[in-house]
Amino acid sequence: MTDETKIDDRESADIKLRFPFTFDGEKISSLTMRRSKLRDKLKAKKVKGDEEDRAIAMFADLVERPVECLAELDEVDVAAIGAQYMAFTGRTAEMDVA
């Protein structure tokens, strides 16, 4: 194992959902996530609730969808969003938004 961490350096990534759903009359089968900025993390820290609430709020911002939309995601697809976030940041441990 090397000390070098692999980081996905793209500006955004399309995440194909394994379990598409309909929200507000729109069928959603993929989401596009942009890279996060420090301001996204600072904004998420202001969200009331626990770490999971803050992570969901930040993910909603990063895919430019309302939190209510992300609430319809299957857990498998939530994990894919989390994995993409981790790839953008080069992290290998659980996400820390708190």
Residue-wise pLDDT for 1-21, tens only, equals: 444 568 999 999 999 999 999
Q: Is residue 61 part of a domain?
A: yes
Q: Is residue 1 part of a domain?
A: no
pLDDT for position 71? 95
Count the neighbouring beta carbons within 10 Å of the beta carbon of residue 67. Answer: 13
- Token pair, residue 62, equals 């990063």
Q: Is residue 97 part of a domain?
A: no
**Which domain covers residue 73, as residue numbers?**
12-89
The total domain count for the chain is 1
For the whole model, what pTM was predicted? 0.84
Q: Is residue 3 part of a domain?
A: no
Q: Is residue 64 part of a domain?
A: yes
